[in-house]
Structure 1
Amino acid sequence: MRAAPIAVTLSLLVLAACSPSVPDSGNVVYLEPVSPEARAARNAALQGTSGRGTVGLEPVAGSTTAVSSTPGAVGNDTTYTGAAPAQITHVTPPAVAVEQVEARPVPSRPSTGAPSVVGFALDTSHPVGQSVYARSNPSAERAARACARYASDDLAQAAFLNAGGPERDSAGIDPDGDGYACTWNPERFRKAIR
């Protein structure tokens, strides 16, 4: 029973030791203006036009520093005395050389002799379901079983065209005779070129 209060006390001590200390919010913020020479040197170094490897900001000699009027506050309630504070300037990066490359024609794809699914879609204009080719013994059940063998409708259409489609349908995957196997739809290919 005495172990629980000791464990609680130790864990509170550990948490107190681990907690970050709160900074003193009563500190005064000092801002010193930067001389025009130091600003020019910094800009030259940032743009890569000087031989100096480091960038330094030097305060203007004899200027009065800017002091925050409210402890811990920087921004809206800050008053400045003496010279103007340092200004942030926009630095333009140096120009980069651009190499002009001559345009070359796109290489042609080798022809395999097999019908192209995309080419077939673009060569046809009739909608899905419109009977264009005669089919003997069309069966929707047979077509559903045959279409289930293909991973996608594009593969089914490619196999259909390679087997003599759209005129012949030996696999029975185009029972309505529209020339489109399974649920393949050529419209997405047609829309791509519009």
Structure 2
Amino acid sequence: MRSLLLVSAALTGLAACQPTVPDSAAGVGFDNYDRARREALLNGSPTPQTATITPPPDVSGAPINASGDPVTEMAAAALARGDGTTVDPLAPAPQSVSNAAGISEENNFDAVSGERSIAEDAALIAQNSAQYQQVQPTALPTRTGAEGPNIVAYALSTTNAVGQSIYSRSAFASKDKEARNCAAYSSADLAQLDFLSSGGPDRDRKGLDADGDGFACSWSPAPFRAAARN
């Protein structure tokens, strides 16, 4: 008997320690709603209607604008263009303009075939080939000598080195006078050409060849000789 009393006391203590399980419907308004509905039925007043909640549209795949909000296809098209205009997404796509200025249609088979056939292409190629002309080489013109001295021909006709005196010069000729006289020419070629036109190489009337090598100022026949050898 004493054992039964001890077991009963232990069970009572365990039951007192268990937490109370809250009512899942408490605090959400269902009990108040049912009471109001019963009172409306007893009093003959209109039954309160249940509010209908429309779920938000699924915009998980919609494009997102700069602020992070979902946008429609029309707004997305406007954002992509950046001009503020909208386009109906259900409208048909605009047709491309054929033969637009600056646009080549060589990769468009339909457009090319409509302009010219393969036979017409072959005829056009043959026409262009018939207009080709091959120019045959002709003999070089003969110099009469009336054109004046030629520094290239003169360079190839000489064999002495620069500075090697082979022509007599005046006792008053000097390198200092030569340098002053050569300063009047923009290039050595022009100085040599004027030297030959004025009686050179035998005579140096303008004081351009003080050492008597036949080469005025700093002109040299070496480049022309090397070109002829190669």
Q: TM-score w.r.t. structure 1 length?
A: 0.49
Choose between structure 1 and 2: higher helix proportion.
2
Rg larger for: 2
Q: TM-score w.r.t. structure 2 length?
A: 0.43
